[in-house]
């Protein structure tokens, strides 16, 4: 039997009939068609599927789509404002906070919630705050730097923007 699900994703309303067993992450990827939210495990360890549900960071593999009925969701695709990157996205770019990029959307979503809760985290608070997300490429060094740099930008320090440097003449 299918159930109706009505959600707002990145400001747009969606309504679908879904199987009750459909996970929210599969709903977002396969039904809504937003593939920026990734799946890296089956056991809620890796955090690659982190999104915001009513403003709170949630691993979207831990919820059924039907549980999201009536909620407002934000995915990685909803973070930038047009061409203008969210300061955390910008910071991940500036600080080389990603390599293969697969875990990155989850990290950005988790970091956004962390900074909302704690706009000025210490390094230790960042490391403990993002323990629920796994990365296999970066050794976390530059992810920590990116979150620190985003915290600075978001608290009003002037933004540093990466631009591709033009070479030659």
Partner 1 sequence: MAVTQLVGAKIHRREDPRLITGHGHYIDDFTRQGTAYAAFVRSPVAHALVKSIDITEATKAPGVVAVYTARDFKGQLAGTHPAAPAFVAEKKYVPERFPIAETEVTYQGEIVAAVLAETKGQAADAANMIQVEYDELPAVMDLEKALAKGSPKAHESGPDNVCWDFTYTPLDLTEAAFKEADVVVKQRILQNRLAPVPMEPRGVLAEYEGFDKKLTMWLSSQNPHFIRLFVSGALGLKESQVRVISPDVGGGFGSKISPYPEDYLVPALSRMTARPVKWIETRTESIQNATHGRGQFYDCEVAAKKDGTLLAMRVVQYVDVGAYHGTFGAFQPVACLMAGGGYKWKGISARTVGVLTNRVPTDPYRGAGRPEATHLVERMVDLVALELKMDPVDIRKKNFIQPEDFPFTQNFGLVVDSGDYEKSLDKALELAGYAELRKRQADLRKQGRYFGIGLSTWIELCGFGPSAATAPATGGIALVESAQVRVTPTGAVIVYTGTHSHGQGHETTFSQIVADQLGVPLDSVELRHGDTAEGTSFGYGTYGSRSLAVGGVAISKAVGKVIDKGKKLAAHIFEAAEEDVVFEHGNYHVKGSPDKSKAFGEVAFASYGMGLPEGMEQGLEAVAYFDPPNLVWPFGAHVAVVEIDAETGTAKLEKYIAVDDCGNIINPMIVDGQIHGGVVQAIAQALYEEVVYDESSGQLKTGTMIDYLIPSMGEIPPLILDKTITPSPTNDLGVKGIGEAGTIAASIAVINAVCDALSPLGIKHVDMPATPDKLWHMMKEARK
11's tokens? 């400001």
Instruction: Name residues contacting partner 1, limited to 118-147 (CB under 8 A).
Output: 123, 126-128, 130-144
151 is an interface residue for partner 1 by CB under 8 A: no
Q: Of the candidates 25, 99, 102, 10, which has an alpha carbon nearest to the alpha carbon of residue 59?
A: 25
150 is an interface residue for partner 1 by CB under 8 A: no
How many residues touch partner 1 (CB under 8 A)? 63
Contact 124, 86 (CB under 8 A): no
Looking at beta carbons only, is 70 or 120 nearer to partner 1?
120
Query: Which element (helix H / strand E) includes 146?
Result: helix 141-154
Q: Tell me how crowded residue 52 is: count the other CB atoms within 10 A of its CB.
A: 23
Site string for partner 1, 23-62 (x = CB under 8 A): ------x----xxxxxxxxxx-xx-x--------------
Q: Report the distance separating Cα 59 and Cα 132, nearest Å.
A: 9
169 is an interface residue for partner 1 by CB under 8 A: yes
Q: What's the Cα-to-Cα distance from 166 to each of 91, 163, 169, rounded to whole Å?
A: 21, 9, 8
77 is an interface residue for partner 1 by CB under 8 A: yes
Binding site for partner 1 (CB under 8 A): 19, 21, 29, 34-43, 45-46, 48, 75-77, 79-80, 85, 89, 92-94, 96, 98-105, 108, 123, 126-128, 130-144, 162-169
């Amino acid at each position: 039997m299918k159930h109706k699900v009505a959600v707002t994703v990145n400001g747009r309303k969606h309504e679908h009939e879904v199987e009750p067993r459909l996970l929210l992450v599969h709903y977002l990827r396969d039904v809504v068609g937003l593939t920026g939210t990734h799946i890296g495990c089956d056991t809620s360890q890796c955090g690659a599927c982190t999104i915001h549900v009513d403003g709170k960071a949630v691993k979207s593999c831990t919820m059924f789509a039907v549980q999201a009925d009536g909620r407002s969701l934000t995915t990685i695709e909803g973070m930038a404002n047009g061409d203008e990157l969210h300061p955390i996205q910008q910071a991940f770019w500036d600080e080389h906070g990603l390599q293969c990029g697969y875990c990155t959307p989850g990290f950005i979503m988790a970091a956004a919630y962390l900074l909302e809760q704690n706009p000025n985290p210490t390094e230790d608070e960042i490391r403990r705050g993002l323990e629920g997300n796994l990365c296999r490429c970066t050794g976390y060094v530059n992810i920590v730097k990116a979150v620190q740099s985003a915290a600075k930008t978001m608290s009003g320090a002037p933004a540093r923007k990466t631009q591709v440097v033009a070479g030659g003449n």
